[in-house]
Structure 1
Amino acid sequence: MTDILSQDEIDQLLSAISSGDAQQEDFSATQAEQKKVKIYDFKRPDKFSKDQIRTVQMMHETFARLTTTALSAKLRAMVSVHVQSVDQLTYEEFIRSIPNPTTLSLINMDPLKGSAILEVDPSITFTIIDRLFGGAGEHAKLTRELTDIEMSVVEGIIVHILGNLREAWSTVIDLRPRLGTIETNPQFAQIVPPNEMVMLITLETKIGESEGMMNLCIPYITIEPIIQKLSAQYWFSSIRRGESEVNRTMIQSRLDNVQVQISVEIGTVSLGFKDIMNLKVGNIIKMPKTTVREEFTFKVEERAKFKCRPGRIGSRLAVQIGEPVIDIPDELLIGNRSEEEG
């Protein structure tokens, strides 16, 4: 990309060309030296690299999607949450940027040390409260503190949201965020010194016609132990490593709730087609003679799985599971029969 020269640089270049003293190498060297100078504010030292900020943004885009789904189901309304920006600033700048009163949730970031803050704009807070209390969730510009009942309702919503935060961070750390207290005055939420650097994730939130912001403030000292893991390369590799385990766990949890039909085959008897057609209610079919010591076949969905023995537990009939039945596929049986006939 071609750099744009300032007016002073253009004047110097024209005067040097007219005098014959200009050399392209000298100008390029001078320009390269100027590019080495970088402005740095020692009052606001950058703690997070661009790669780390980008990774945190991708993680919280997942958090935003999960929160959108959770709030939509909870409020039964159209909810939209997405990441607007991820910035690094001092804690004092964050406190000054939020309204008073507001909803400030102090979150314990176990196993990480320290706390984070989830700030919810009052317009969003009162829209949620109105919706849960049976209202239409209309936009209400209220600037008062929450009542005890309203505080209890908000606590339930925050706890619900924190579950999504844990899932979004699962590729980096097994985070177990817990709600501590809820404050309405930002001056009462001093979790770090004013000059401490924090990462601010701003989430634009829309519920029906109401719009507002949710801000997640995480101090640098809280995530410093895992700062090396906040890289795109580590994040993507963690996702690939976790895919098989996540899929295995998901499949196992679904299989645990599957209902199957089981039966016990106590014997077989051969009947002619005419006898089967003449069967009526109350007819008796004589089965082969069996004893208690004989093993029956235990079937799962009409497929033999175990040998079993009959018995009784209290007043109920029961069977005791024995050795598994070797299930030979029909293809192998057909193949063996063909070889024998050949």
Structure 2
Amino acid sequence: MTEVLSQDEIDQLLTAISSGDIDAADDTTSTQQDTRKIKIYDFKRPDKFSKEQIRTVSIMHETFARLTTTSLSANLRSLVQVHVASVDQLTYEEFVRSIPNPTTLAVINMDPLKGSAILEIDPAITFSIIDRLFGGQGEGTKVTRDLTDIETTVMEGIIVRILGNMREAWSQVIDLRPRLGQIETNPQFAQIVPPTEMVVLVTLETKVGEVEGMMNFCIPYLTIEPIISKLSAQYWYSSVRRGTTTENLQILRERLSAIEVDVVAEIGNMQLTVRDVLSLRSGDVVRLPNVRISDPMALKIGNKPKFMCKPGRNGNKLAVQITKKLEDIDQEEFEELAAEAEEVE
């Protein structure tokens, strides 16, 4: 219950404050209890993406970063590390002001989505990649300059490889077919949207050898708006589960069925010295110990025995007839089975 002060008590309190015996800032307990947290909202740049959508974009590009790490490491024959540093939403003008000039700006056509996106690669990373591809150690340059025609052509090849990784990373949301439009070095020449338009900016920390820098992927809201509803955790994880349907498994089986594998019928084996092997000539006969023509042979797929068979002919060609299918057994069980078959014979 609030206590009511008398006039004398009020006068004494004012006197104490005037003399400095009591600090007026000390009595802030009730004021702090009533203070509410206020979030500043700028109506000139409203948030277009929810936290869940930002999180989904981050997950997509973590996959993109892993794929890019692998492909660039193989292409440059050097250790490359790429990972997502942040995903933010800001205006296009703020993005342009945050990147150096000159830099490497790849304008990406985001088919089947409308509009374009921008992949910006830090100059240190760009010149490190170029130096590595030209036979150097992958050292970056401190000189700020535009790319030559040859260097631009080299970077086009690298960016096309990167876009293949982007297509795979986005496959759970849309069948994206990104295409390289052109490469610019001045941000002012890459005005893909109005300066006040909101964009989502994916910042990727990149390290090529000992050189560190950033790659930025800028996607305008107008471009990503048609699929904004798919950028949710529920849709993302349901898409992942759909990846193991019976239809997709059938497609995998059909693709695997066209792969060629080595099939070898093993008649028997024996040990020879290196001298004997080197002395072998066309027409020589090698007698296999304890092996008869009627004994079953192992038919191997790769290096693994899968069938038992008997030798024969099909027209003018040598052939084998499969007599038994072997389950997944280890080598010891296979040798025991072969020994039992030999005893039966």
Name the residue aligned to 1:145: 146
Give the match for residue 67 of structure 1.
68
State the distance in 2 between where 1:206 and 1:166 align: 22
Shift of 1:140: 1.4
* Identical positions, percent: 67
The answer to whether the 8 Å contact 2:107/2:118 transfers is: yes
- 1:257 equivalenced with 2:260 (yes/no): yes
Q: Unpaired segments of 5 or more residues in structure 1?
A: 1-6, 15-26, 263-279, 282-299, 320-324, 330-342
Show the counterpart of 1:13.
30
What is the rounded CA distance, in whole Å, between the counterparts of 2:63 and 2:194 in structure 1? Answer: 30
Q: Give structure 2 stretches of 5+ with no counterpart.
A: 1-23, 266-283, 286-298, 301-305, 328-345
Helix, strand or coil for the counterpart of 1:89?
strand
Name the residue aligned to 1:173.
174
The answer for the alignment partner of 1:223 in structure 2 is 224
How far, CA to CA, are the matches of 2:255 and 2:27 in structure 1? 70
Q: Give 1:255 shift.
A: 6.3
Alpha-carbon distance between aligned partners in 2 of 1:165 and 1:120, rounded to the nearest angstrom: 15
**What TM-score results when the alignment is normalised by the length of structure 1?**
0.69
Matches within 5 A, 1:88-237: 88-237=89-238
Say if 1:107 and 1:180, in contact at 8 Å, map to a contact too: yes
| Alignment CA distance shift 1:11-1:250 (3 Å) | farther
RMSD of aligned Cα (Å): 4.2
- Write the letter of the residue equivalent to 2:99: I
Paired positions, count: 279
Tell me if the contact between 2:122 and 2:213 (Cα under 8 Å) persists in the aligned partners: yes
Partner Cα distance (2:72, 2:250) in 1:
25
- Identify the residue that residue 57 of structure 2 maps to in structure 1: 56
Task: Give the TM-score of the pair, scaled to structure 2.
Answer: 0.68
TM-aligned CA distance change 1:207 to 1:92, over 3 Å: same
**What pairs up with 1:236-247 in 2 under 5 angstroms?**
236-244=237-245, 245=248
Measured against aligned partners, the alpha-carbon deviations of 1:177-206 in whole angstroms (never above 9, x if no partner) come to: 111110111111011111110000000101
Provide Cα deviations, 1:290-326, integer angstroms capped at 9, x if missing partner: xxxxxxxxxx868599xxx9779xxxx799xxxxx99
Question: 1:328 and 1:152, CA in 2 relative to 1: closer, same or farther beyond 3 A?
Answer: closer
Going from structure 1 to structure 2, the CA distance change for 1:259 and 1:188 (only over 3 Å counts) comes to same
The Cα of 1:207 is off from its aligned counterpart by 0.8
Shift of 1:49: 0.3
Structure 2 residue matching 1:84: 3-state secondary structure: strand
Cα deviation, residue 76, structure 1: 0.9
Deviates more, 1:135-144 or 1:206-215: 135-144
How big is the shift at 1:213?
Answer: 0.5
Q: Within 2, Cα distance between the matches of 1:140 and 1:47?
A: 38
Tell me, in whole angstroms, the C-alpha distance in 1 between the residues paired with 2:89 and 2:55. Answer: 12
Q: 1:240 offset after TM fit, Å?
A: 1.8
CA distance in 2, matches of 1:136, 1:247: 46
